[in-house]
Homo-oligomer: A and B are copies of this chain.
Amino acid sequence: MIGYPNGKVRTVQCPAAVKQSAGRRGMSLEHDLNLSNEYYLQTDRAVIHKKPTPLQIVTVDYPKRSAAKITEAYFKVPSTTDYNGVYRGKAIDFEAKETRSRTSFPFSSLHPHQVDHLERVIRHGAIAFVIVRFVLLDETYYVEAGKIAAQYRHSGRKSLPYSWFQQEGILIPFSLTPPVNYLRVIDELYFKEK
C-alpha cells in the first residue's frame, strides 16, 4: 500500500502489470514528455514547457544567509492545462493523462476547468489536444481536444472506452528521441502539404 493525498491509499499493482510496464522502460508519461520537450528545445523545433504545479503558499521562512524556505503550502486545482508553448507560429496547448485501465479513460481525470480551458484556446486559434496513455497496454494516443471535449460535454458517459481512442485518436508510435513524438502528429494534422 502506498500513502496518497487525503490519506487515501492505492494498492500496488500486481507483479505482472509491473513487469509489462517496466518491459519498455517503466517511465511515466510526464517523464517521457519532459524528455520530448527538452529534445524539441535542443533541436530548436518547438518551445513547449510543462507549467509548474500550482501551489497555494501559506508560510515562507527567510533564514539569514540561506534561501527562502516554504514551510506550508498546498496543491491547488489547476485552472489550465499542464503544457503549452509555440510551434511553427501556432500556440500549442495540451493536457497529458495516464490511465491504468485497459478498457476506458475516466473523465474524472480531467478537471472541468481544464476542459473549459481547452475549448477556449481552440476558439482563439491554438492547436489543442490531450495525450492519453493506457499504461498497461503501453499505448499513447493523441486526441484533438475538440473531440474529447465534445464527448465530455455531450456523451452522458463517465468514461471513454478504449475503442473510442482506437477510432478517434492517433496512436503515437514510441521512438527513442524523442520518446513521444507528438509534433509528428501535429505536422500530419495541421501542416501537411496539399
* Chain A interfacial positions (CB closer than 8 Å to B): 3-7, 41, 44, 46-47, 49, 51-55, 57, 62-76, 79-80, 84-93, 117, 120-121, 123-126
Contact = CB atoms under 8 A, between A and B. Distances in A.
Given A51-B51, A74-B68, A93-B86, A62 B4 contact: yes
Given A53-B57, A55-B70, A84-B84, 10 more contacts: A5-B68, A6-B66, A47-B124, A68-B75, A85-B121, A86-B121, A86-B124, A86-B125, A89-B90, A91-B91
Contacts of A91: 85-86, 89-92, 126
Q: Classify the interface of chain A: helix, strand, loop or mixed.
A: mixed
B74 A73 contact: no
B74 A6 contact: no
A178 to B, nearest CB: 17
Nearest to A6: B67
A77 to B, nearest CB: 11
A20 B85 CA distance: 38
B121 A62 contact: no
A52 B55 contact: yes
28 contacts: A5-B68, A6-B64, A6-B65, A6-B68, A7-B62, A7-B64, A7-B65, A7-B66, A41-B120, A47-B120, A49-B80, A51-B51, A52-B53, A52-B55, A53-B55, A55-B55, A55-B70, A67-B74, A67-B75, A69-B73, A70-B70, A70-B73, A70-B75, A85-B91, A86-B121, A86-B124, A89-B126, A91-B92
